Structures are given as structure tokens and as C-alpha cells.
Chains A and B, each alone.
Chain A
Amino acid sequence: MADTPILEVKNLRVEFPTRRGTLVAVDDISFSIAPGEVLGVVGESGAGKSMTGAAVIGLLEPPGRIAGGSISLAGRRIDNLPYEEMRKVRGREIGAIFQDPLTSLNPLYTIGRQLTETILTHLPVSQAEAQARAVDLLRQVGIPAADKRIEHYPHQFSGGMRQRVVIALALAANPKLIIADEPTTALDVSIQAQIIALIKKLCREHGAAVMLVTHDMGVIAETADRVAVMYAGRIAEIGPVRDVIKAAKHPYTDGLMASIPKVGRTDARLAQIDGAMPRLNAIPRGCAFNPRCGRAFDRCRVDRPEPLAAGASQVACWLYDTAKGDTP
């Protein structure tokens, strides 16, 4: 995986200008995804994970905007493309899967129409070829009697089936990268595992990398190769999934892992992180996590930590600043 990363995000900054000043939703984050790799992005609501996904696909809701940094897709910069150029990237090179399959499909058109429309927008094929490809995609995502169901409207499918259709739509033009924003959150637990397995299998078959945005550590553990933990618009820790889950380095990740209930353990109480994530207009000085951190020391309240190498991971925490050695 030493070749050009499929996605490379450098020092990305997303701002929301409001009447009461500018809110920084994503603050100077960098990460990359190798071809075929699955990167999980976790964090609480408002940590900036969905915002990062929206920035990559070029669909930040105004007035949100990319205020700094760069996003490159297979070596080509895409954050500054004109709308029409970016439109051709969407769907063709980056596919998207959204949270709620019940509302992701237009209720007035058959799923077949929505599939062929996407295929015809991006690929130089005839109507008949697009139709055949649509049936094939539906078959791949595991929809029984695909050639008949293609004539059906979204309301004639269950939630899990609709998410399969959404996955088929995301893969319609063979993109190299899929951004899946909470793809299982709105589904029944029994369906979640199926959908995750399906995304993983299809992306491997199509050779697509995945940026999987979720707040569900279980989904990450099952699916991702690497994981980025976001907190208050920044990446707290990023590294191989095994390292991050089994040996969390950042105190926030550590707290996050400790707060996941584990079957078979009989602790009276779950560990919890006291307090709440700061609002975007009240991010504390220094490390954003310092007011809630049990291991914070003076420097954490003054200087903002930048990602530091720690084993195979990168951690934005002064505890891992071996160079200066002024840990308490």
C-alpha cells in the first residue's frame, strides 16, 4: 500500500460563518486512505466526522465552506474544482451512502430509473446496457428477483432492502472511494451486520476504498483497517484498528473504549467520560479535551497538541511528546 493514496486530506479546515462569528467544524485535520482500504471515522455527534465526509464529496451545506487545506483524490486535487467538474467526480469517482435509506431515494421514481439515471450520467453506455447493469447491481447487493424488483418504487422495499439499493446506487459507476455516512444507524440491529458485511464485500470486489463514518465502535472493529477518532473537529488518534481498540493511546479514545459495555463483564457501572464535548463556539484553549481529561497537565491547557507518532498510530496528545520529555 505504498502507492499514491486514493484519498489524501491535508490540513483540512471547514468553517461555518454565522452572525455570531465563525464556527470551525473541522480544524486542521490530515489523513489518507490507501486504495482498497477501509478507514473508520468515529466520534460523538458534532465531532466533525460527517462534515469531513461532506467536504470530501464537495457537498458542504452552505454557508459551510472549506477554509483551508487540500483534498486530493488519487493525486488530483479536488477541493478547488468548479461545481461542474466536481459533479463529475461525485458518483463516478466517489460514491456516497447516507444514513437513512428511507429518505435517500426519491419516492416518485422506480429504483430502476434512479439506477439507470446514475449509470447514464457517468458511463458511456446505452439505455439497454444501463438497464442490464442496474439489474446486475441489484443482484450483487442481494435483492431477490432483481429483474422484477427494478420496476418497483422505494416504498415497496423494507429499510434494509432500501439500503441495499442505496449501496447499488453508490457503486453504480464503479467509484474508487465510497463515503459511507452512518450507513447502519437507521437500521434494525439484525440488519446492520448484513449491510456492513455487504459494503465490505462489495467494496473489496469493486476495489473501492471506504471512508466509514459512524459512532458505532462495534461496526468499526468489524470492518475497518484503520480508524480515526475525532473530537471537537480534530483527529485525536488515528491508527490501525487493532491498536486503537486494544491499546488506545489518547485519553479520549481510552475513555471511549471503556464506556462500551462488554458482554460477560460484571462491573457494577460502566466507565464514563465526565462532561460533554465542547460546543463549536466554546472550544477550550490548548487541547480541546483537557477539561474532561484525567491526565491533563499544565501544557494541555496552553498548547494545542499536533498529531505525534506513537507506534503505528498518530496521537494528538502531549503525553506522547517524547522529544521534550516534560510529561508529569
Chain B
Amino acid sequence: MIAFVIRRLLQSVLVMLTVAFISFALFRYVGDPVLIMLGQDFTQAQYDTLVSELGLDQPFYLQFAKFIVAALQGEFGISYRLARPVAQLIMERLPATLELSLVAAILALCIGVPMGVYTGLHRESWLSRFFLTISLIGVSLPTFLIGILLILIFAVQFGVLPSFGRGDVVKFGTWSSGFLTTSGLKALVLPAVTLSLFQLTLIMRLVRSEMLEVLRTDYIKFARARGLTNRAVHFGHALKNTLVPVITITGLQIGGIIAFAIVTETVFQWPGMGLLFIQSVNNADVPVMAAYLLLVGFFFVAINLVVDLLYYVVDPRLRVDRGAASGH
């Protein structure tokens, strides 16, 4: 178990270094930061001073090492656009994105899994057919369109929910939460639904097809032949066997939710990282882009690590080190 974790951690570090390198290359080679910082009027002497001040005349591996060290300390430089430390900017935006993603992911799981189980168990019922038809819409309509449609219905037509922003937030140190105010919760509804819809339908369809697959297996037939109750067969035996692929996809999707909240955040003017990223792209704000890239890379790696550990918990066949010794 420990060897497994260490191996996975080392792999994660390697992935993070690669991401950092790409992020660094972006920082260093997309445009000339010195030119951007100096503006229109400058002398060659000013230029050279700044270059040596920023350490840009050093060999690239030294620069990369410095970049890594700085990144580890949470230093990502100064935003060109807002002239404030990038780390600070991101810390301001991170809670909004994480809260939105968390709610979207919980929605997708808590609705998607039961719907998947239901449609898997009752293939012929009209409700299953209805769910499946609806899910086609969820899979095929682009997120921004769903967002705009929701705004049109709930914000414009009925005026029950806000169409943009995050509502009032409560501050806990550097963390700002929208969970504790009515306006914050109201503002969360539409973006969270928009963001979760695609994942929800994906999870539902995945659980359904996995359920159908598992229900055909011999051990389910044997479980029935042993006279177990339907509940035990469906939830104790069948559902648990669908979990491994569901965990994989859900893990990837949660990474995706965080990374690609960009579109949803833009539609709802949600003050999160995605919006920050889009604004940075528009202004070629490289330090922010680089930091964003690193952060999203970090989330993906962290989630993958958790997913791997969950496999280990769910499936005893992966716990090889204990089984082999006492084999046959």
C-alpha cells in the first residue's frame, strides 16, 4: 500500500514538473515580458537593467529552477494587467470556482448515479425512456447555450434567480463563501445547474450501461439464486461493481469541471478563476495564464491520485501485495 502511494506520488511530481515546464516556457517565450513591462518609451540601458533584474540573462535551467522554487512558495509574479501579485489574484478567485465546481459535482453525482441505477434496473419503464431522452439534450447542447436558456427562463421570464455574479459573500480569512447568504445561494443555482448538466447526463449514462453490464454477470445470477433480496443484489452487489469505472470518469470530470468552468463563468460573469483566465488571455497577461495552467494541472494530478487510492479501497483485486502471499 505504502509503496503504491509513493510510486503514485513520484509519478505525480513528474507530471507536475512537466506542467511547470510548459507553464514556464509560456511565461518565458510567449512575447517579451520586458517589452510589455517597460511600455512604449525606454532606453536600451533601462531594458538591460530590467533583464538582469528579472534574471532573464541567466541560462534557462537556472531560470526554470528559480521558477519552480518561486512557484513552490506561491510566487507567480505580478499580473501585467492588474499590477498585483498573481498569487493574490488567484486566491481571491479560487473560492468562487471551487464552490461552484463542488456544488456542480455533487449535483451531478447525487442525481446522476440514482438516475443511472434506475434506468439500468427499469430499462422498459417510460420514466427511464424519458430520462434517456432528456440526457441526450444534456450531452448534445453546448454549455453556454444551456446557460443562456436558463438565464432566459429563470432570470428574465420569471425573475426568480439572478443572472450574474455571486451574490453576497462571507469572508473567512482569505476564503470567501457564498454558501451562507440567501443571495449567494440563489446566485449559485443557475451556474451550478449549467455546469453539472453535462456531467450529470454523462454519469447517468455511464452508470446505466455499467449496471446493465454487471446485471448480466454470473455472480449476479448466482446472488439471485442464493435468494438474496433485490435490494441486496442491486445495491450491495451490482452497484458496487459499477463503481470503478464510475470513479474514474467522475474523477476526470471533476478535474474537467474545475478547468472548464471557464465557459460557465463567462456566461454568468461568475467571479472565479475561469473568468480571470479569459480576461488574462484577452490581455496577454502571461503570469496569470502560467499560474492558472499550473494550478489546473495540480488539481488534475491531485484528483487522479485520489481516484487511484479509491480504486484501491473499492477493488480487493488491486491489493496484490496481501493476496499473492496467501494464494492457493
Binding site for B on A (CB under 8 A): 57, 59, 87-92, 95-96, 98, 100, 103-110, 117-118, 121-122, 148, 152-153, 155-158, 161, 166, 169-170, 172-173
Of the stretches B41-49, B215-223, B258-266, the one at the interface is B215-223
Taking CB atoms, residues of chain B closer than 8 Å to A100 are 218
Taking CB atoms, residues of chain B closer than 8 Å to A103 are 217-219
Whole-angstrom distance between the alpha carbons of A105 and B317 in the complex? 13
**Are B316 and A121 in touch, CB under 8 angstroms?**
no
**Are A57 and B225 in touch, CB under 8 angstroms?**
yes
**Are A161 and B219 in touch, CB under 8 angstroms?**
no
Per the 8 Å Cβ criterion, residues 302-328 of B in contact with A are 314-317, 323, 326-328
Q: Is the interface of A mostly helix, strand, loop or mixed?
A: mixed
**Are B323 and A156 in touch, CB under 8 angstroms?**
yes
**Are B315 and A96 in touch, CB under 8 angstroms?**
no
B107 to chain A, nearest CB (A): 27
CB contact under 8 A between A98 and B225, given known A105-B219, A153-B323, A156-B327: yes
* B241 CB–A CB distance under 8 Å: yes
Whole-angstrom distance between the alpha carbons of A157 and B218 in the complex? 17
Per the 8 Å Cβ criterion, residues 204-229 of B in contact with A are 217-219, 221-229
Whole-angstrom distance between the alpha carbons of A173 and B224 in the complex? 14
**Are A107 and B315 in touch, CB under 8 angstroms?**
yes
* B129 CB–A CB distance under 8 Å: no
Binding site for A on B (CB under 8 A): 217-219, 221-230, 232, 236-237, 240-241, 314-317, 323, 326-328
CB contact under 8 A between A106 and B225, given known A121-B232, A161-B328: no
Our pick among A59, A107, A148 for the contact of B219 (Cβ within 8 Å) is A107
**Are A104 and B219 in touch, CB under 8 angstroms?**
yes
**Are B225 and A90 in touch, CB under 8 angstroms?**
yes
**Are B218 and A117 in touch, CB under 8 angstroms?**
no
Other A-B pairs beyond A87-B229, A92-B227, 18, CB < 8 Å? A87-B227, A87-B228, A91-B228, A95-B225, A95-B226, A98-B221, A103-B217, A103-B219, A104-B222, A108-B315, A118-B226, A118-B227, A118-B228, A121-B229, A153-B316, A155-B317, A155-B323, A173-B227
**Are A108 and B240 in touch, CB under 8 angstroms?**
yes
Whole-angstrom distance between the alpha carbons of A95 and B226 in the complex? 7
CB contact under 8 A between A172 and B225, given known A103-B217, A107-B316: no
What are 19 A-B pairs with beta-carbon distances under 8 A? A59-B225, A87-B224, A87-B228, A90-B225, A90-B227, A95-B225, A96-B226, A104-B219, A104-B222, A106-B219, A106-B237, A107-B316, A108-B241, A108-B315, A108-B316, A152-B323, A152-B326, A155-B317, A169-B222
**Are B317 and A107 in touch, CB under 8 angstroms?**
yes
Closest partner residue, chain A, to B241 (CB atom): A108
Q: Is the interface of B mostly helix, strand, loop or mixed?
A: helix
Whole-angstrom distance between the alpha carbons of A296 and B224 in the complex? 44
Whole-angstrom distance between the alpha carbons of A90 and B228 in the complex? 8
Closest partner residue, chain A, to B236 (CB atom): A117
- 8 nearest A-B residue pairs (beta carbon): A91-B227, A96-B225, A90-B227, A103-B218, A153-B316, A158-B328, A91-B226, A104-B222
A86 to chain B, nearest CB (A): 9
Whole-angstrom distance between the alpha carbons of A292 and B148 in the complex? 72
**Are A105 and B222 in touch, CB under 8 angstroms?**
yes
Taking CB atoms, residues of chain B closer than 8 Å to A92 are 227
Whole-angstrom distance between the alpha carbons of A211 and B225 in the complex? 15
Whole-angstrom distance between the alpha carbons of A183 and B315 in the complex? 27
B212 to chain A, nearest CB (A): 13
**Are A153 and B219 in touch, CB under 8 angstroms?**
no
Among the interface residues A57, A91, A108, A172, which one has the most CB atoms of the partner chain B within 10 A?
A108
Taking CB atoms, residues of chain B closer than 8 Å to A117 are 228, 232, 236
Our pick among B222, B314, B326 for the contact of A166 (Cβ within 8 Å) is B222
Whole-angstrom distance between the alpha carbons of A117 and B316 in the complex? 18
Whole-angstrom distance between the alpha carbons of A122 and B225 in the complex? 12
Whole-angstrom distance between the alpha carbons of A118 and B230 in the complex? 13
Whole-angstrom distance between the alpha carbons of A16 and B292 in the complex? 60
Closest partner residue, chain B, to A92 (CB atom): B227
A228 to chain B, nearest CB (A): 21
Taking CB atoms, residues of chain B closer than 8 Å to A91 are 225-228
CB contact under 8 A between A106 and B328, given known A90-B225, A91-B228, A122-B227: no
Whole-angstrom distance between the alpha carbons of A147 and B219 in the complex? 23
A158 to chain B, nearest CB (A): 4
B241 to chain A, nearest CB (A): 6
Taking CB atoms, residues of chain A closer than 8 Å to B236 are 117
Among the interface residues B218, B225, B229, B328, which one has the most CB atoms of the partner chain A within 10 A?
B225
Closest partner residue, chain B, to A155 (CB atom): B317
A324 to chain B, nearest CB (A): 44
A209 to chain B, nearest CB (A): 17
**Are A108 and B227 in touch, CB under 8 angstroms?**
no
Whole-angstrom distance between the alpha carbons of A92 and B221 in the complex? 16
CB contact under 8 A between A153 and B218, given known A118-B228, A169-B226: no
Whole-angstrom distance between the alpha carbons of A157 and B326 in the complex? 9
Our pick among A106, A148, A161, A173 for the contact of B241 (Cβ within 8 Å) is A106
